[in-house]
Structure 1
Amino acid sequence: MTTGAQADTASPRTAQRADARRNRERVLDAADAVFSQIGPTASTEEVARRAGVSIGTVFRHFPTKEALIEAVVLGRLEQLTAEARELGDAGDADTAFMAFFHRWIELSATKHQFARALAHSGTDVQEVRSAHPDVVQELHDAIAVLLARAQHAGSIRRDLTVSDLVALMVGASRAHEHIGPNSEQRAHLLSVTIDGLRPR
């Protein structure tokens, strides 16, 4: 049984934990935006300013800038995983599969610009992923559900594996980035890629 004194003690602690979680999320959101726009050379002071917190709050959650950059990379992978899982429960398997495929492409420009900028700063996205295989595995598992449902529905060829699909999405993303802002050519290229996913 919790006494009144215990409840009074627990309540402020719970509020502090909730505040800390909110501040961490604000810092991550701001860092994602800042690093996407400016690159990882952007200062942590700019991240703090965008997040509306002190620089001390940033370093309390992320002791180094490298730790902050790594958290941003992981956050993007987790975001894709959450979206894939949500679509995995959608009614129409083909619509869900295509929605995720388009979503991956939509995020491509920022992701690859960010990855290149990280490489110039000495941070390798692939090394971050290798250090957190569970996060990558969860994303692949969520994609596998989308792929299996679409294959079962007969809308995607059955010889396609998750590794094949990820490689195709990465390739299509880079092709879109190479084309630039030509929306008509982008749409044409995407339709060609999707045609290749359909059963013969």
Structure 2
Amino acid sequence: MGDHQRADARRNYARILAAAEQEVGVHGAGASLEQIARTAGVGSATVRRHFPTRRALLEAVSRERIETLCVRARDLAGVDDSREALLAWLADLLAYSVTARGLAAALSYDDAEVAGSDPVASSCAVLMETAAGPLVRRAVRDGAVASDVTVSDLIALVVGVVLATEHRAHPAAQAERLFQLAVTGLSPAR
């Protein structure tokens, strides 16, 4: 690919991503790929060449927030109370997922869908697992969380709460309420 073609591809990618951020912000995970293509001034095939799956598109739109969550998990690793650290990270994940349309959907695809896709498409899930894993392992080791709880379980819990409340009158308040109900069941019985 020549320099000119590479520059065109980079410009197209940037325009598609900007259009996708706008469209996902308004319509969430169901954003129209055709509308994204029209807004970006490219054909649908160009959108699909850059983002072969809806998941890849949603992850690209959500990447900055996912990276911020990963940094936050590393920062919280220094908090003395392992349960408090894990719950603080989950609260951030919940808040981001409520406000960033498409993030919950990007995190909700199952492993079977990931396995058949480009390895890059699952990088956000891997980043989240890697970042939050130490928080979960430490909370399990300290007896603050049941031993069979995984990062995937917790992400699925948050995603479920967000998707269940996204069309309610006050989604953030409803999501927080449901999450708090779920959290009371996370700790082992004492």
TM-score, scaled to structure 2 = 0.61
Q: Give the match for residue 6 of structure 1.
A: none
Q: Give the match for residue 102 of structure 2.
A: 111
1:192 positional shift: 0.7
1:86 positional shift: 0.8
Distance in 2 (CA, whole Å) between partners of 1:23 and 1:65 is 9
Percent pairwise identity: 25
Query: CA, structure 1 residues 111+148, in 2 after alignment: closer, same or farther (shift >3 Å)?
Result: same
CA deviation string 1:60-82 (max 9, x = no partner): xx952234455422325644542
Count of aligned positions: 165
* Residues 1:89 and 2:78 are matched in the alignment: no
Query: CA, structure 1 residues 185+74, in 2 after alignment: closer, same or farther (shift >3 Å)?
Result: closer
- The higher radius of gyration belongs to 1
Query: CA, structure 1 residues 149+71, in 2 after alignment: closer, same or farther (shift >3 Å)?
Result: same
1:132 paired residue among 118, 141, 165: 118
Distance in 2 (CA, whole Å) between partners of 1:142 and 1:34 is 29
- Contact 2:58 2:105 survives alignment (8 Å): no
Q: Give the match for residue 119 of structure 1.
A: none
Provide the aligned C-alpha RMSD in A. Answer: 3.8
Query: CA, structure 1 residues 170+114, in 2 after alignment: closer, same or farther (shift >3 Å)?
Result: closer
Unaligned regions of 5+ residues in structure 1, if any?
1-12, 49-54, 116-124
CA deviation string 1:76-108 (max 9, x = no partner): 564454234312321224454234322333314
2:48 paired residue among 55, 62, 66: 66
Query: CA, structure 1 residues 103+29, in 2 after alignment: closer, same or farther (shift >3 Å)?
Result: farther
1:172 positional shift: 1.9
1:143 corresponds to which letter in structure 2?
Answer: A
How do 1:182-197 residues align onto structure 2 when only pairs under 5 Å count?
A: 184-197=173-186
Aligned to 2:144, the other structure's residue is in SS state: coil
Of Structure 1 and Structure 2, the greater helix share is in: 1
1:42 paired residue among 32, 35, 46: 35
TM-score, scaled to structure 1 = 0.59
Unaligned regions of 5+ residues in structure 2, if any?
none
Query: CA, structure 1 residues 78+146, in 2 after alignment: closer, same or farther (shift >3 Å)?
Result: farther
Q: Give the match for residue 158 of structure 1.
A: 147
1:104 corresponds to which letter in structure 2?
Answer: L
Distance in 1 (CA, whole Å) between partners of 2:11 and 2:92 is 26
